[in-house]
Amino acid sequence: MTFASFFSITAMLLILGLFFIVVVNVNMVAENAKKQFDTIQVYLLEDTSEESVNQMIDKLEGMEQVTKAEYLSKEDALNEFKVKWGDKAYLLDGLSKNPLPNSIRIKLNDIEKAEAVVEKAKTFEGIEDIRYYQSTVDKLIHITDLIKIGASVIIVFLVVISVVVVSNTVKLTVLAREREISIMKYVGATNWFIRGPFLVEGIIIGFFSAGIAVALVAILYKKVLTLFSQDAFLLFSTSMVPEAFLVKNLVVIFMALGISIGAIGSIISMRRFLDT
Protein backbone atom coordinates (compact mmCIF):
# COMPACT_ATOMS: atom_id res chain seq x y z
CA MET A 1 0.00 0.00 0.00
CA THR A 2 2.89 2.33 0.76
CA PHE A 3 4.33 1.61 -2.69
CA ALA A 4 0.91 2.30 -4.26
CA SER A 5 0.75 5.70 -2.52
CA PHE A 6 4.31 6.47 -3.61
CA PHE A 7 3.52 5.53 -7.21
CA SER A 8 0.29 7.58 -7.24
CA ILE A 9 1.93 10.80 -6.06
CA THR A 10 4.92 10.33 -8.37
CA ALA A 11 2.67 9.73 -11.39
CA MET A 12 0.52 12.78 -10.67
CA LEU A 13 3.55 15.03 -10.11
CA LEU A 14 5.16 13.71 -13.28
CA ILE A 15 2.05 14.59 -15.31
CA LEU A 16 1.96 18.00 -13.66
CA GLY A 17 5.67 18.49 -14.42
CA LEU A 18 5.24 17.67 -18.10
CA PHE A 19 2.36 20.09 -18.33
CA PHE A 20 4.40 22.70 -16.45
CA ILE A 21 7.19 22.39 -19.05
CA VAL A 22 4.77 23.04 -21.89
CA VAL A 23 3.03 25.98 -20.20
CA VAL A 24 6.23 27.74 -19.11
CA ASN A 25 7.80 27.50 -22.56
CA VAL A 26 4.64 28.52 -24.41
CA ASN A 27 4.31 31.51 -22.10
CA MET A 28 7.93 32.44 -22.74
CA VAL A 29 7.43 32.25 -26.51
CA ALA A 30 4.26 34.37 -26.27
CA GLU A 31 5.91 37.02 -24.09
CA ASN A 32 8.97 37.27 -26.34
CA ALA A 33 6.75 37.46 -29.40
CA LYS A 34 4.78 40.30 -27.82
CA LYS A 35 8.04 42.20 -27.19
CA GLN A 36 8.81 42.07 -30.90
CA PHE A 37 5.68 44.11 -31.59
CA ASP A 38 6.01 46.72 -28.85
CA THR A 39 7.08 49.44 -31.31
CA ILE A 40 5.19 51.84 -33.56
CA GLN A 41 6.83 53.16 -36.71
CA VAL A 42 5.76 56.66 -37.77
CA TYR A 43 6.88 57.37 -41.35
CA LEU A 44 7.60 61.00 -42.21
CA LEU A 45 7.13 63.01 -45.38
CA GLU A 46 10.31 63.92 -47.20
CA ASP A 47 9.94 67.64 -46.48
CA THR A 48 9.23 67.30 -42.75
CA SER A 49 11.57 69.67 -40.95
CA GLU A 50 13.95 68.70 -38.14
CA GLU A 51 12.17 71.12 -35.81
CA SER A 52 8.82 69.40 -36.43
CA VAL A 53 10.39 66.01 -35.82
CA ASN A 54 11.85 67.14 -32.49
CA GLN A 55 8.46 68.53 -31.43
CA MET A 56 6.80 65.22 -32.28
CA ILE A 57 9.39 63.29 -30.27
CA ASP A 58 8.94 65.57 -27.25
CA LYS A 59 5.15 65.15 -27.33
CA LEU A 60 5.39 61.39 -27.73
CA GLU A 61 7.90 60.95 -24.92
CA GLY A 62 5.56 62.94 -22.70
CA MET A 63 2.96 60.16 -22.95
CA GLU A 64 2.87 57.60 -20.15
CA GLN A 65 2.55 54.72 -22.63
CA VAL A 66 5.83 55.62 -24.38
CA THR A 67 9.21 54.45 -23.11
CA LYS A 68 11.25 56.08 -25.83
CA ALA A 69 10.78 57.86 -29.16
CA GLU A 70 13.73 58.27 -31.50
CA TYR A 71 14.38 59.56 -35.01
CA LEU A 72 15.48 56.99 -37.58
CA SER A 73 16.90 58.34 -40.81
CA LYS A 74 16.43 56.51 -44.10
CA GLU A 75 20.15 55.70 -44.13
CA ASP A 76 19.99 54.11 -40.68
CA ALA A 77 16.86 52.17 -41.70
CA LEU A 78 18.66 50.80 -44.75
CA ASN A 79 21.65 49.78 -42.63
CA GLU A 80 19.30 47.88 -40.31
CA PHE A 81 17.87 46.04 -43.28
CA LYS A 82 21.39 45.06 -44.35
CA VAL A 83 22.10 43.66 -40.92
CA LYS A 84 18.85 41.64 -40.96
CA TRP A 85 19.55 40.29 -44.43
CA GLY A 86 23.00 39.06 -43.35
CA ASP A 87 24.74 37.27 -46.24
CA LYS A 88 22.14 38.60 -48.69
CA ALA A 89 22.83 42.25 -47.77
CA TYR A 90 24.87 42.74 -50.96
CA LEU A 91 21.57 42.70 -52.91
CA LEU A 92 20.73 46.10 -51.40
CA ASP A 93 23.95 47.65 -52.65
CA GLY A 94 22.54 47.78 -56.16
CA LEU A 95 19.78 50.24 -55.25
CA SER A 96 20.15 53.49 -57.15
CA LYS A 97 18.08 55.33 -54.54
CA ASN A 98 17.15 54.64 -50.96
CA PRO A 99 13.40 53.84 -51.06
CA LEU A 100 12.92 53.98 -47.29
CA PRO A 101 11.44 57.07 -45.61
CA ASN A 102 12.66 58.85 -42.51
CA SER A 103 10.71 57.78 -39.47
CA ILE A 104 10.15 58.00 -35.74
CA ARG A 105 10.40 54.73 -33.84
CA ILE A 106 8.23 54.63 -30.72
CA LYS A 107 8.99 52.11 -27.98
CA LEU A 108 5.95 51.29 -25.83
CA ASN A 109 5.90 50.18 -22.20
CA ASP A 110 2.49 48.55 -22.66
CA ILE A 111 1.55 47.16 -26.05
CA GLU A 112 -2.10 46.98 -25.02
CA LYS A 113 -2.23 50.79 -25.06
CA ALA A 114 -0.78 51.22 -28.55
CA GLU A 115 -4.05 52.64 -29.91
CA ALA A 116 -3.80 55.78 -27.76
CA VAL A 117 -0.28 56.50 -29.06
CA VAL A 118 -1.38 55.96 -32.66
CA GLU A 119 -4.29 58.36 -32.27
CA LYS A 120 -1.89 60.96 -30.88
CA ALA A 121 0.56 60.45 -33.76
CA LYS A 122 -2.21 60.93 -36.32
CA THR A 123 -2.66 64.51 -35.16
CA PHE A 124 0.89 65.48 -36.19
CA GLU A 125 1.71 67.35 -39.41
CA GLY A 126 4.21 65.81 -41.81
CA ILE A 127 3.15 62.19 -41.27
CA GLU A 128 3.02 59.89 -44.29
CA ASP A 129 1.99 56.63 -42.65
CA ILE A 130 1.88 54.82 -39.30
CA ARG A 131 2.63 51.15 -39.00
CA TYR A 132 1.87 49.06 -35.96
CA TYR A 133 0.65 45.53 -35.34
CA GLN A 134 -2.54 45.96 -33.34
CA SER A 135 -4.33 42.90 -34.68
CA THR A 136 -1.25 40.74 -34.11
CA VAL A 137 -0.83 42.13 -30.61
CA ASP A 138 -4.51 41.51 -29.79
CA LYS A 139 -4.19 37.89 -30.91
CA LEU A 140 -1.04 37.38 -28.85
CA ILE A 141 -2.67 38.88 -25.77
CA HIS A 142 -5.71 36.67 -26.27
CA ILE A 143 -3.54 33.56 -26.66
CA THR A 144 -1.50 34.43 -23.58
CA ASP A 145 -4.63 34.95 -21.48
CA LEU A 146 -6.08 31.62 -22.65
CA ILE A 147 -2.83 29.85 -21.76
CA LYS A 148 -2.81 31.36 -18.26
CA ILE A 149 -6.47 30.48 -17.63
CA GLY A 150 -6.07 26.97 -19.04
CA ALA A 151 -2.91 26.39 -17.01
CA SER A 152 -4.59 27.47 -13.78
CA VAL A 153 -7.61 25.24 -14.38
CA ILE A 154 -5.58 22.16 -15.30
CA ILE A 155 -3.12 22.59 -12.43
CA VAL A 156 -5.96 22.87 -9.90
CA PHE A 157 -7.63 19.85 -11.52
CA LEU A 158 -4.46 17.76 -11.28
CA VAL A 159 -3.87 18.73 -7.65
CA VAL A 160 -7.45 17.81 -6.68
CA ILE A 161 -7.14 14.48 -8.48
CA SER A 162 -3.84 13.85 -6.72
CA VAL A 163 -5.35 14.44 -3.28
CA VAL A 164 -8.35 12.21 -4.06
CA VAL A 165 -6.25 9.38 -5.51
CA VAL A 166 -3.69 9.50 -2.72
CA SER A 167 -6.30 9.72 0.04
CA ASN A 168 -8.11 6.68 -1.38
CA THR A 169 -4.84 4.81 -1.73
CA VAL A 170 -3.77 5.64 1.81
CA LYS A 171 -7.25 4.65 2.97
CA LEU A 172 -6.46 1.11 1.80
CA THR A 173 -3.38 1.20 3.99
CA VAL A 174 -5.51 2.29 6.95
CA LEU A 175 -8.08 -0.42 6.26
CA ALA A 176 -5.31 -3.01 6.26
CA ARG A 177 -4.42 -1.85 9.80
CA GLU A 178 -7.97 -1.40 11.03
CA ARG A 179 -7.58 -4.05 13.75
CA GLU A 180 -4.37 -2.42 15.05
CA ILE A 181 -6.07 0.97 15.19
CA SER A 182 -9.07 -0.47 17.06
CA ILE A 183 -6.80 -2.10 19.63
CA MET A 184 -4.86 1.15 20.13
CA LYS A 185 -8.11 3.04 20.72
CA TYR A 186 -9.33 0.44 23.24
CA VAL A 187 -6.17 0.78 25.31
CA GLY A 188 -6.57 4.58 25.44
CA ALA A 189 -4.38 5.93 22.64
CA THR A 190 -5.24 9.51 21.59
CA ASN A 191 -6.27 10.37 18.05
CA TRP A 192 -3.00 12.19 17.32
CA PHE A 193 -0.98 9.30 18.75
CA ILE A 194 -2.67 7.03 16.21
CA ARG A 195 -2.69 9.59 13.41
CA GLY A 196 0.97 10.60 13.88
CA PRO A 197 2.69 7.61 12.22
CA PHE A 198 0.34 7.76 9.23
CA LEU A 199 0.93 11.49 8.89
CA VAL A 200 4.71 11.05 9.02
CA GLU A 201 4.44 8.21 6.54
CA GLY A 202 2.41 10.40 4.16
CA ILE A 203 4.95 13.22 4.42
CA ILE A 204 7.87 10.86 3.75
CA ILE A 205 6.08 9.30 0.78
CA GLY A 206 5.29 12.77 -0.61
CA PHE A 207 8.90 13.92 -0.12
CA PHE A 208 10.47 10.99 -1.96
CA SER A 209 7.76 11.03 -4.65
CA ALA A 210 8.53 14.69 -5.33
CA GLY A 211 12.25 13.93 -5.55
CA ILE A 212 11.73 11.12 -8.05
CA ALA A 213 9.29 13.22 -10.11
CA VAL A 214 11.72 16.16 -10.27
CA ALA A 215 14.54 13.85 -11.36
CA LEU A 216 12.42 12.27 -14.11
CA VAL A 217 11.18 15.65 -15.39
CA ALA A 218 14.74 17.05 -15.35
CA ILE A 219 16.08 14.10 -17.37
CA LEU A 220 13.24 14.40 -19.86
CA TYR A 221 13.60 18.16 -20.20
CA LYS A 222 17.34 17.84 -20.77
CA LYS A 223 16.59 15.52 -23.69
CA VAL A 224 13.99 17.95 -25.04
CA LEU A 225 16.48 20.83 -24.87
CA THR A 226 19.08 18.78 -26.73
CA LEU A 227 16.64 17.89 -29.52
CA PHE A 228 14.52 21.04 -29.93
CA SER A 229 16.31 24.04 -28.39
CA GLN A 230 17.95 25.14 -31.64
CA ASP A 231 14.78 24.56 -33.68
CA ALA A 232 12.73 26.59 -31.19
CA PHE A 233 15.14 29.50 -31.56
CA LEU A 234 14.94 29.40 -35.35
CA LEU A 235 11.13 29.16 -35.36
CA PHE A 236 10.22 31.61 -32.58
CA SER A 237 13.40 33.73 -32.23
CA THR A 238 13.59 32.76 -28.57
CA SER A 239 15.34 30.10 -26.56
CA MET A 240 13.59 27.60 -24.31
CA VAL A 241 13.49 28.04 -20.54
CA PRO A 242 16.92 27.11 -19.08
CA GLU A 243 17.10 23.72 -17.39
CA ALA A 244 18.55 25.08 -14.13
CA PHE A 245 15.75 27.64 -13.75
CA LEU A 246 13.04 25.06 -14.46
CA VAL A 247 14.44 22.41 -12.10
CA LYS A 248 15.00 24.95 -9.32
CA ASN A 249 11.35 25.99 -9.41
CA LEU A 250 10.10 22.43 -9.82
CA VAL A 251 11.95 21.33 -6.67
CA VAL A 252 10.16 23.97 -4.58
CA ILE A 253 6.75 23.37 -6.18
CA PHE A 254 6.94 19.56 -6.14
CA MET A 255 8.25 19.34 -2.58
CA ALA A 256 5.44 21.58 -1.35
CA LEU A 257 2.81 19.68 -3.34
CA GLY A 258 4.16 16.20 -2.61
CA ILE A 259 4.42 16.71 1.14
CA SER A 260 1.05 18.48 1.29
CA ILE A 261 -0.71 15.81 -0.77
CA GLY A 262 0.81 13.01 1.31
CA ALA A 263 -0.09 14.68 4.60
CA ILE A 264 -3.61 15.71 3.60
CA GLY A 265 -4.30 12.31 2.05
CA SER A 266 -3.27 10.60 5.30
CA ILE A 267 -5.38 12.91 7.46
CA ILE A 268 -8.47 12.45 5.28
CA SER A 269 -8.03 8.69 5.28
CA MET A 270 -7.98 8.54 9.10
CA ARG A 271 -11.16 10.51 9.70
CA ARG A 272 -13.32 7.43 9.42
CA PHE A 273 -11.49 5.69 12.26
CA LEU A 274 -10.90 8.59 14.62
CA ASP A 275 -13.12 11.05 16.41
CA THR A 276 -12.63 14.51 14.87
pLDDT tens-place string over residues 144-189: 778 778 877 887 887 777 777 766 776 776 777 778 778 888 888 8
Distance of CA 118 to the CA centre of its chain: 29
Give residue 106's domain range.
Answer: 38-132
Could you tell me how many residues make up the chain? 276
Q: Spell 150-180 as b/e; 16+ CB within 10 A means b.
A: ebeeebeebbeebbebbbebbbebbeeeeee
Kindly state whether residue 120 falls inside one of the protein's structural domains.
yes
Q: What does the alpha-carbon distance between residue 133 and residue 36 come to, in Å, rounded to a whole number?
A: 10
Based on the domain organization, do 159 and 255 belong to the same domain? yes
Instruction: Write down the pLDDT at residue 232.
Output: 55
Based on the domain organization, do 206 and 71 belong to the same domain? no
Q: What does the alpha-carbon distance between residue 255 and residue 209 come to, in Å, rounded to a whole number?
A: 9
Residue 276: which pLDDT band, with cuts at 50, 70 and 90?
very low
Burial of 188 (0-12, 13-18, 19+ CB in 10 A): exposed
Based on the domain organization, do 98 and 151 belong to the same domain? no
How many domains would you assign to the chain?
2
Query: If DSSP codes are grouped into helix, strand and coil, which group holds residue 126?
Result: coil
Name the average pLDDT for the chain. Answer: 78
Based on the domain organization, do 124 and 145 belong to the same domain? no
pLDDT digits (tens, 9 = 90+) for 77-130: 888 777 766 776 766 776 778 788 889 888 888 777 778 888 888 888 888 888
The pTM score is 0.60
Residue 221 CB-half CA count within 13 A: 25
